[in-house]
């Protein structure tokens, strides 16, 4: 390792030993626990992932327990975090480890990468933290820190940024504590070298940071030009039959597969929202007594924005549905299902509406209640 890398590493580790947050996976070198933690932390802030980590490991303490679990239960524990494909792949990989490797987890980053859902970053993070392999784990936080440090060298070149950042990260993990170096860089990016308003005065690497010296921090890391996210209109049917609500299971070939949702469909060319809602009711084989517009929501996926118009629908009979896995369920049971995020948001609005209607009914019945009049105005008992 060259002299500058050694100096940076010492400062980084010194800072990490003093300042790191108390996160539940920081006290373990168990590869299963670290794998779960790193999977949870993808696309999710560490503080938020921490609560899920504890609950997940209470229910699935080992890879063997996870491997025999029902996917629905795994998805339920993941609910609210989004990016459900992570949970599905984790479950699938646990099964593969138990089926093909006797439940023994890999020891090297290269072997980790053979598991479903495990990319360069997760493989390097787990192998370095659990087994001390000197491999760099470069996530968005690490890229930001290193790109700012090396801004003068990177200039305006995106390919050069990738090469420089990788080489720096790899140089820094040489030595006895590769897992801690990886964690320290992630921690620095998450807490000090933040995307906006970095806390440079608290940064252990400030003396070496060329973006700071040249006052160009906001330019780094360089990004590829953003594509505009297309907006796609959908209708969502909030169907009720007495105390039952209708939910359907998404098929295994779609986005968010195996999660439950209120019946939802894309609006087709030439349709307005109501026409799309009525068409979808017909496709499901439902005859509605009342259909009226409900709340609208938008939900962002990575590659498109979903614009949803809901409809309150009342039906007289909870009949079988055509071509879908459907459930007429009570509110309590609905709460226990793994739901899509949009369905949970609509359910929240639905519950609020019902509470408001309940209050209104109670107020009305109070205002129409006969006044109490004493049987005789002057008599005592």
Strand (E) or helix (H) holding 248: strand 244-249
Tokens representing 342?
């949009």
Q: Residue 148 Cβ, how far from ligand SF4 at the closest point, in Å?
A: 4
The residue among 146 and 313 lying less far from ligand SF4, judged by its C-beta, is 146
Q: Maximum distance among all alpha carbons in the chain?
A: 103
Q: Which amino acids are annotated catalytic? A: 38
Q: Residue 313 Cβ, how far from ligand SF4 at the closest point, in Å?
A: 53
Which stretches of the chain bind ligand SF4, using CB under 6 A? 145, 148-149, 192-193, 198, 200, 203, 205-206, 209, 211-212, 217
The residue among 50 and 142 lying less far from ligand SF4, judged by its C-beta, is 142
Q: Residue 164 Cβ, how far from ligand SF4 at the closest point, in Å?
A: 14
Spatial distance between the Cα atoms of 83 and 68, rounded to a whole number of angstroms: 22
The residue among 129 and 203 lying less far from ligand SF4, judged by its C-beta, is 203
Tell me how crowded residue 301 is: count the other CB atoms within 10 A of its CB.
12
Q: Residue 323 Cβ, how far from ligand SF4 at the closest point, in Å?
A: 54
Strand (E) or helix (H) holding 96: helix 85-101
- Start-to-end Cα distance in the chain: 100
Q: Is 308 helix (H, G, I), strand (E, B) or coil?
A: strand
The residue among 219 and 341 lying less far from ligand SF4, judged by its C-beta, is 219
Which residues have CB under 8 Å from 173's CB, separation 6+?
128, 134, 135, 136, 181, 182
> How many helices, marked H, and strands, marked E, lie in the chain?
16, 7
């Amino acid at each position: 390792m060259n002299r500058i890398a050694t100096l940076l590493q010492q400062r980084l580790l010194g800072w990490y030993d003093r300042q790191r947050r108390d996160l539940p996976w920081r006290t373990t070198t168990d590869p299963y626990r670290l794998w779960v933690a790193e999977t949870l932390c993808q696309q999710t802030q560490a503080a938020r992932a921490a609560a899920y980590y504890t609950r997940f490991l209470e229910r699935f303490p080992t890879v063997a327990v996870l491997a025999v679990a029902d996917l629905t239960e795994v998805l339920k524990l993941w609910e609210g975090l989004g990016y459900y494909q992570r949970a599905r792949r984790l479950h699938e990989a646990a099964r593969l480890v138990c089926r093909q490797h006797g439940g023994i987890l890999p020891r090297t980053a290269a072997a980790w990468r053979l598991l479903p859902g495990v990319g360069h970053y997760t493989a390097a993070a787990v192998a370095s933290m659990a087994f001390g392999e000197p491999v760099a784990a470069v996530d968005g936080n690490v890229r930001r820190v290193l790109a700012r440090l090396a801004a003068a060298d990177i200039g305006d070149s995106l390919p050069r940024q990738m090469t420089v950042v990788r080489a720096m990260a790899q140089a820094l993990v040489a030595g006895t504590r590769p897992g801690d170096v990886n964690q320290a860089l992630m921690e620095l990016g998450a807490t000090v070298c933040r995307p906006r308003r970095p806390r440079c005065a608290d940064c252990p690497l400030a003396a070496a940071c060329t973006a700071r010296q040249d006052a160009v921090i906001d330019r780094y890391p360089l990004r590829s030009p953003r594509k505009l996210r297309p907006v796609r209109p959908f209708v969502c049917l909030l169907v009720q039959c007495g105390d039952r609500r209708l939910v359907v299971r998404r098929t295994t070939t779609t986005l968010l597969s195996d999660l439950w949702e209120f019946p939802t469909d894309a609006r087709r060319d030439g349709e307005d929202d109501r026409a799309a809602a009525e068409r979808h009711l017909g496709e499901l084989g439902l005859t509605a007594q009342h259909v009226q517009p409900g709340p609208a929501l938008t939900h962002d996926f990575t590659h498109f924005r979903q614009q949803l118009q809901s409809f309150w629908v009342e039906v007289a009979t909870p009949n079988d549905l055509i071509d879908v896995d459907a459930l007429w369920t009570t509110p309590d049971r609905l709460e226990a299902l793994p739901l899509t995020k949009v369905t949970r948001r609509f359910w929240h609005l639905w519950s609020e509406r019902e509470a408001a209607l309940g209050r209104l009914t109670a107020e009305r019945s109070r205002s129409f209640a006969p006044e109490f009049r004493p049987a005789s105005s002057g008599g005592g008992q």
